Amino acid sequence: MTDKQNDSNEGLSIEEQKKKAAAEAKAKALELAKQRQAEKEKAADVSEPIAEERELTKEELKKKAAAEAKAKALELAKQRQAEKAKAAEGSEPTATEPELTKEELKKKAAAEAKAKALELAKQRQAEKSETTKAPQSDEPADDLAKQKALAAAKAKAAAAAKAKAAAAAKAKLARVGGGDTSTEPASDDEKAKAAAKAKAVAAAKAKAAAAAKAKASREAGTDSTTESAGDDEKAKAIAAAKAKAAAAAKARAAANAKGAGTEPVAEEKPSPNQPILDTYRKVIKEHLGEDVLEDSYINRLSKDVPTLVAKPESYYKIAEFLKYNDQLRFDYLSEMHGTDFETHFEVYNHLYSYNHRQSVALKVKIDRTIATTHSITPLWEGANWPERETYDLLGIHFEGHPNLTRIMLPDDWVGYPLRKDYEPHDVEV
Amino acid sequence: MEELLYAQPGWTHVAIFFALGAALLVTVLGFVTYAILAERKVLGFMQMRTGPNRVGGRFGLLQTVADVFKLLIKEDTIPKLADRPLFILAPVIAFAPAFMVLATIPFSENMQFADLGVGLLYYVAVSGISTIGILMGGWASNNKYSLLGGMRAAAQMISYEIPLVISVIGVILFAGSLNLNDIVRGQENIAYIFLTPIGFFVFLISSIAELNRTPFDLPEAESELVAGYHVEYSGFRWAFFMLTEYVYLFAMASLTTVLFLGGWNPIPFLDFIPGMLWFGVKFSIVVFFMIWIRGTLPRLRADQLMSFAWKVLLPLALLNIFVSAAVKELFL
Amino acid sequence: MIRTEEMLLNVGPQHPSTHGVFRIVLKIDGETIIEATPVIGYLHRGTEKLAENLQYTQIIPYTDRMDYLAAMTNNYVICHAVETMMSLEIPERAEYLRVIVMELGRIASHLVWFGTYLLDIGAMSPFLYAFREREAIINMLNEICGARLTFNYMRVGGVKWDAPEGWIEKVRDFVPYMREELAGYHDLVTGNEIFLNRVKGIGYYTKEEALNFSLSGANLRCTGTNWDLRKDEPYSIYDRFDFHVPVFHTGDAWARYQCRMQEIEESLKIVEQAVEQFPEEGPVMAKVPRIIKPPKGEAFVRIESPRGEIGCYIASEGKKEPYRLKFRRPSFYNLQILPKLLVGENISNLITILGGIDIVLGEVDG
């Protein structure tokens, strides 16, 4: 997802487009069905360079137009083709003139096939789940992205259920609304476009095109200012990955593989540590029962470390079990600290087993008002000072700790500095 | 000088003795000044740095003078809770014996202040008094580090005095006298280092320990006790302790020269060089050796120091008596 | 009546052998330690709190001030944490530069340890020899990043500066020179009877105790635990180098000494190989956004610093500042075993044991 990759994608896609344009010209002359598909691919491809380099797109469009002209001359089904050609061309001016986009959207919506309602639903779901997962940050960009995504999803739902024209209108509204509130209209337009296109493509049933567009939308994201780039990029990439996964489940998986980026696919692979986590879960379940763990997952961001979230009341029990069970034997406490997540405190332990050469992260969420948990110093002496540090800086009390006093700060310090609501006692300092 | 001692007392004699004492003191201070500089220079050379090179030309010839001057004009501080009279007295008690022992050392055939019959015994006995000064300073400072340093010093000096004295018995056996002049004369043909090498070895180690120098610098072990017994001293009181240390270095190197290296006796065929110079050369070698040791070895631990004195040096010193006796019987 | 009583001795925070502002309150009977209570925090600067209001790139200089003897590994650990979260691909050349500077830093750090340890034990000269070689390393690092101690060299995605002209050759020449000097150290110190007596059997602990007390680095490897994150959880490009992890079994200060001395040799091997394989051309910085924003989530990474495992925990909200940043500082964990080791020892051994653990107070206090 780096710029570097984007760069290479751009480079490739432009060349690729040219090649495709040539190939398509031939293909059209030969085959009706092929023509249609090729044109859809074009539509997808065209959207990509728009964001970056319009000059190239125009040239390319001209080529396409020429190819299409040939194809038209050959082909009986001129009407449909013309429509699509318009769609493709129409996407170009979108960037500059939003009015055109609306028209285009209507056309696309009209072109939607009801038979694709199922796919749409899938995609929508994926998108929704992603958007709801998106971080609740106070940055407007985030919210906008979410809003838009939701709006798009809604528009799709409506389109599938009702008349297409209505759906298009809604999508328009949503987009316009988004554009108004946005601080960066340019990028919003692009995003809206991308969303609209995603719809159109789904309607046109080419999943390969969908993948390509996911890429395109990602680029659109990076093209906007770097401030919002990270978030948008990420959200879109994930959405794209999900959409793709849904598509892959279908018969056209082969077509997908071509256009799919390698990275999102890798992310979807089950973690190599999954079996290890499953073992931990199983062993803990066998010995301690069902309801000792609050959660357990693989933390992909943290080198795929299996993570166990203990329930507060069974935290010590699990820790003890992790240390003394023969299958686990986590004899080394690598790290222990606490975090104030505002809604709750969290104590994080990174444990390591030298026998089995495995890691596990053991967490426990603590009620912020009580701020008390059991000390694990009786199990690992190494937790002694870290727990004192956590007590000192966060004010979490560890029951059963041999000497729970302040360690970094003076004994008469007021407050716990690492708490998010910490106010320095002495305002002068 | 002898006749002065037996002559009628009078003011002239007092004046002469005073002048001689002052001359010796100046000599010793001159030595101390340049011994410190030499130590710093030699250590600097061994550790690949320059050492003093600013005050007094590029060899830093006046560096120590400047340091002493600084100490002289420094504010004299005495801790509030210190035992004031003892605190003031301690450096004096430590320094006086160091200067007193010099009286018996024969620097050359004529250059000696007091030709005592029991010169060697006098040296050993008087130098023991310094321990009291150090212990007193450690106690009077009312500081835990200095107390620990003082206790260490007392333990160490008492322990090492024993092998030091016993190792010399070999020399006394050969010379048949405790008089240092006689001992030097006894080495006209062969230095005693060749006759009692074990004795020399034990004596050298014990003397380093007596001097509280690395690797036996436990009483003032910088990295452990910060500065040991003189941690609370500053200014000229501290300079006195420093002076004691270097005067003892002077005295001990002289004694080693006298007892084992043949004093002012020249190496065969080189007797046109004056005895005084021979003494100086041998003496310098000993001093250099001590500095060399300081630049090379780490410090012992207190318990190791004790067990080394009692379990290694003392038996060796005792063995040396028998060996020396046998050598004397069989070869001389 | 003669009576004895225990006394309290305050060692530090200003003391020649505590290597910074570390204080330990001893209850002693004569010179024998009955109880030892370490007091830390004199150098606490609240790095973790400060970091919550700083962007990731701005945090890097703060890490320099934690373990100021091996700041390169500190630089690396936070960059590595962010890079892990963002799944960044680091350019080859940057990876090699990172490894070279980190290993040089490791050698420099061990040299300081060697010198000061011997100084603690009472030998002055090795200190100056070690600092001469360290000076050579510091000069090289100065040349590459413009700082002698607080490097601020690494960035998320690579390193700040490419190696200047002829720098790699300097590093190449340094390796044989250092080997030669290292042999000199062994001649001077390693066989010295007094030194051996001071360190053998001192500060002994078992493997189980070491693990229980969360020790790491040479403090762990001296007990026979074969554990080096460079080997066992390879990060960066350490899996490309052929080196060996020195492990000793006696668990005392002597084993720790040997361990660190051999680590210098192994680091030299790594530097040598890295210089061999060093790519001719290429970028030293990956393309990263100007404002770094790791995705929402949390990550904990750990790497091998000269003192042990240094780790970095980041909880990110997807913003440009970390929500929570936590460093696992090896010295902090390693120091915990000290009170246990000191009971029954005398004051001389206090210095030997404390020095053997190899702490840096900037790191202990965070």
List the CATH number of the domain containing C315: 1.10.645.10
B111 and B195 belong to one structural domain: yes
Chain C hits for B217, CB-CB cut-off 8 Å, are 122
Any chain A CB within 8 A of the CB of C318?
yes
Identity of the residue in A335, A389, A418 whose CB atom sits nearest the CB atom of C311: A335
Q: pLDDT for B303-321, tens place per residue? A: 888 888 889 889 998 998 8
For residues A152 and C104, which has the higher predicted lDDT (pLDDT)? C104
For residues A264 and A351, what is the distance between their CA atoms, to the nearest angstrom? 30
Q: Where are the domains of chain A?
A: 3-268, 274-399
| pLDDT value, residue C110 | 92
Q: What is the rounded (10 degree) CA torsion for C231, C232, C236, C239? A: 50
Give helix then strand counts, H and E, for chain A. Answer: 16, 7
Torsions phi, psi of B28, nearest 5? -65, -40
Strand partners, A397: A372
B123 and B168 belong to one structural domain: yes
Find the range with the poorest average confidence among A85-89, A392-396, C68-72, C291-295. A85-89
For residues B244 and B237, what is the distance between their CA atoms, to the nearest angstrom? 11
| pLDDT value, residue A173 | 47
Find the range with the poorest average confidence among A56-65, A413-422, B247-256. A56-65
For residues C366 and C362, what is the distance between their CA atoms, to the nearest angstrom? 6
* C-alpha distance from residue C45 to each of B27, C50, C63 (Å): 55, 9, 11
Q: pLDDT for B62-82, tens place per residue? A: 888 888 888 888 888 888 888
B239 and B99 belong to one structural domain: yes
- C-beta atoms of C348 and B144 within 8 A: no
| pLDDT value, residue A188 | 46
Contact present, A233 and A218 (Cβ < 8 Å): yes
For residues A347 and C126, what is the distance between their CA atoms, to the nearest angstrom? 45
* C-alpha distance from residue A36 to each of A26, A47, A234, B46 (Å): 13, 17, 32, 88
For residues A421 and A205, which has the higher predicted lDDT (pLDDT)? A421
Residue type, B158: I
Q: Which of A135, A219, A213 shows the shortest CA–CA distance to C294?
A: A135
For A264-301, the DSSP string reads: HHHHHSPPTTHHHHHHHHHHHHHHH-GGGEEEEEEEGG
How many domains in chain B? 2
For residues A71 and A373, what is the distance between their CA atoms, to the nearest angstrom? 74
| pLDDT value, residue B258 | 86
| pLDDT value, residue A157 | 46
- Look up tokens 């029951």; give the residue: A399
Q: How confident is the model at residue A27 (pLDDT cuts 50, 70, 90)?
A: low
**Please, how many CA atoms are within 13 Å of residue C88, restricted to the half-sphere of its CB?**
28
State yes or no: pLDDT of B21 exceeds 50: yes
Identity of the residue in C318, C332, C366 whose CB atom sits nearest the CB atom of A231: C318
Q: Which of B24, B46, B73 is the last residue of a domain?
A: B73
Find the range with the poorest average confidence among A13-22, A219-228, A269-278, B226-235. A219-228
- Looking at the domain assignment, is residue C109 inside a domain? yes
- Looking at the domain assignment, is residue C79 inside a domain? yes
For residues B272 and C296, what is the distance between their CA atoms, to the nearest angstrom? 92
**Please, how many CA atoms are within 13 Å of residue A293, restricted to the half-sphere of its CB?**
23
B positions 17-36 inside 8 Å of C (CB):
none
If you average pLDDT over residues A392-402, what whole number do you get?
A: 88
Q: pLDDT for B262-300, tens place per residue? A: 877 777 777 777 777 888 888 889 888 888 888 888 888
For residues C160 and C141, what is the distance between their CA atoms, to the nearest angstrom? 13
| pLDDT value, residue A84 | 52
B207 and B156 belong to one structural domain: yes
For residues B317 and B245, what is the distance between their CA atoms, to the nearest angstrom? 25
| pLDDT value, residue B267 | 76
- Look up tokens 């002559």; give the residue: B7
Percent of chain A predicted with pLDDT > 90: 0
Q: Please give the structure tokens belonging to residue A303.
A: 């080198």
Does residue C13 have a cis peptide bond before it, meaning omega lies within 30 degrees of 0? yes
If you average pLDDT over residues A362-372, what whole number do you get?
A: 87
Mean pLDDT: which of A122-131, B206-215, C318-327 is highest?
C318-327
Q: pLDDT for C109-136, tens place per residue? A: 999 999 899 888 888 888 888 888 899 9
Whether the CA torsion C268, C274, C280, C286 is positive or negative: it is negative
- Looking at the domain assignment, is residue C202 inside a domain? yes
- Looking at the domain assignment, is residue C128 inside a domain? yes
B197 and B262 belong to one structural domain: yes
Q: Please give the structure tokens belonging to residue A419.
A: 């708490």
For residues B151 and A121, which has the higher predicted lDDT (pLDDT)? B151
Percent of chain B predicted with pLDDT > 70: 97
If you average pLDDT over residues A72-96, what whole number do you get?
A: 49
B109 and B189 belong to one structural domain: yes
B66 and B194 belong to one structural domain: no
Chain C hits for B40, CB-CB cut-off 8 Å, are none
Q: Which of B22, B56, B73 is the last residue of a domain?
A: B73
For residues A126 and A131, what is the distance between their CA atoms, to the nearest angstrom? 9
C positions 211-230 inside 8 Å of A (CB):
211-215, 225, 227
If you average pLDDT over residues A43-50, what whole number do you get?
A: 45
Q: How confident is the model at residue B5 (pLDDT cuts 50, 70, 90)?
A: low
Q: Which of C279, C285, C305 shows the shortest CA–CA distance to C106?
A: C305
Residue type, A369: T
Distant-in-sequence contacts of C23-27, Cβ < 8 A, 24+ apart = C24/C338, C24/C342, C24/C350, C24/C354, C26/C342, C26/C347, C26/C350
Size of interface A-C (CB pairs under 8 A): 138
Percent of chain C predicted with pLDDT > 70: 100
Identity of the residue in B217, B300, B302 whose CB atom sits nearest the CB atom of C346: B302
B152 and B5 belong to one structural domain: no
Distant-in-sequence contacts of B197-200, Cβ < 8 A, 24+ apart = B198/B167, B198/B170, B198/B316, B198/B317, B198/B319, B198/B320, B198/B323, B199/B167, B199/B168, B199/B169, B199/B170, B199/B171, B199/B260, B199/B317, B199/B320, B199/B324, B200/B167, B200/B260
- C-beta atoms of C301 and A303 within 8 A: yes
Chain A hits for C212, CB-CB cut-off 8 Å, are 331, 380-382
Residue type, C327: F
Chain C hits for B49, CB-CB cut-off 8 Å, are 128
Q: pLDDT for B107-135, tens place per residue? A: 777 767 777 788 888 888 888 888 888 88
Output b/e per residue, B248-279; b: 16+ Cβ within 10 A.
bbbbbbbbbbbbbbbbbbbeeeeeeeebeebb
Q: Which of B253, B108, B284, B268 shows the shortest CA–CA distance to B190?
A: B268
If you average pLDDT over residues B213-221, what whole number do you get?
A: 77
Q: Furthest-apart CA pair in chain C: how many Å? A: 82
If you average pLDDT over residues B211-235, what whole number do you get?
A: 79
Q: Please give the structure tokens belonging to residue B22.
A: 């002052």
State yes or no: pLDDT of A51 exceeds 50: no
Q: What is the rounded (10 degree) CA torsion for B308, B312, B318, B319? A: -160
Torsions phi, psi of B54, nearest 5? -115, -60
Q: Please give the structure tokens belonging to residue A121.
A: 């639903």
3-state secondary structure of A365: strand
B42 and B157 belong to one structural domain: no
Contact present, C132 and C323 (Cβ < 8 Å): no
State yes or no: pLDDT of C305 exceeds 50: yes
If you average pLDDT over residues C234-256, what whole number do you get?
A: 88
How many domains in chain C? 1
Residue A41 CA, distance from chain mean position: 24
User: Chain A residue closest to C297 (CA)?
Assistant: A301
* C-alpha distance from residue A360 to each of A4, A286, B231, C220, C310 (Å): 34, 18, 52, 20, 17
Stated length of chain B: 332
Does residue B215 have a cis peptide bond before it, meaning omega lies within 30 degrees of 0? yes
For residues C113 and C219, what is the distance between their CA atoms, to the nearest angstrom? 13
For residues C42 and C153, what is the distance between their CA atoms, to the nearest angstrom? 27
State yes or no: pLDDT of B40 exceeds 50: yes
Q: pLDDT for B152-180, tens place per residue? A: 888 888 888 888 888 888 888 888 888 88
- Looking at the domain assignment, is residue C243 inside a domain? yes
The CATH homologous superfamily for domain A274-399 is NADH:ubiquinone oxidoreductase Nqo5 subunit (3.30.460.80)
State yes or no: pLDDT of B330 exceeds 70: yes
- The boundaries of the domain holding residue C324 are 47-348
| pLDDT value, residue C107 | 92
Residue type, C348: S
For residues B193 and B209, what is the distance between their CA atoms, to the nearest angstrom? 19
B37 and B182 belong to one structural domain: no
Identity of the residue in A229, A234, A418 whose CB atom sits nearest the CB atom of C295: A234
B143 and B98 belong to one structural domain: yes
10 Å CB burial of residue A425 (0-12, 13-18, 19+) is: exposed
Q: What is the mean pLDDT of chain B?
A: 83
C-alpha distance from C136 to closest chain B C-alpha (Å): 15
| pLDDT value, residue A268 | 57
If you average pLDDT over residues C210-237, what whole number do you get?
A: 87
How many of the other CB atoms lie within 10 Å of CB of A46? 21
Find the range with the poorest average confidence among A266-280, A293-307, A330-344, A410-424. A266-280
- C-beta atoms of C287 and A357 within 8 A: no
If you average pLDDT over residues C312-320, what whole number do you get?
A: 88
Q: How confident is the model at residue A368 (pLDDT cuts 50, 70, 90)?
A: confident
Q: pLDDT for A169-196, tens place per residue? A: 444 444 444 444 433 444 444 544 444 4
Chain C hits for B149, CB-CB cut-off 8 Å, are none
- Looking at the domain assignment, is residue C59 inside a domain? yes
- Look up tokens 């180690």; give the residue: B205
If you average pLDDT over residues B192-219, what whole number do you get?
A: 84
**Which residues have a Cβ under 8 Å from the Cβ of C215 and sit 6 or more positions away?**
A382, C308, C333, C334, C337
State yes or no: pLDDT of C359 exceeds 70: yes
- C-beta atoms of C123 and B299 within 8 A: yes
If you average pLDDT over residues B205-220, what whole number do you get?
A: 82
Q: How confident is the model at residue A91 (pLDDT cuts 50, 70, 90)?
A: very low
Whether the CA torsion C75, C79, C84, C90 is positive or negative: it is negative
Q: Which of B54, B73, B92 is the last residue of a domain?
A: B73
For C7-35, the DSSP string reads: EEEEE-SS-TTSSSS-EEEEEEETTEEEE
Torsions phi, psi of C66, nearest 5? -80, -75
| pLDDT value, residue C345 | 87
> Does ipTM exceed 0.85?
yes
| pLDDT value, residue B165 | 87
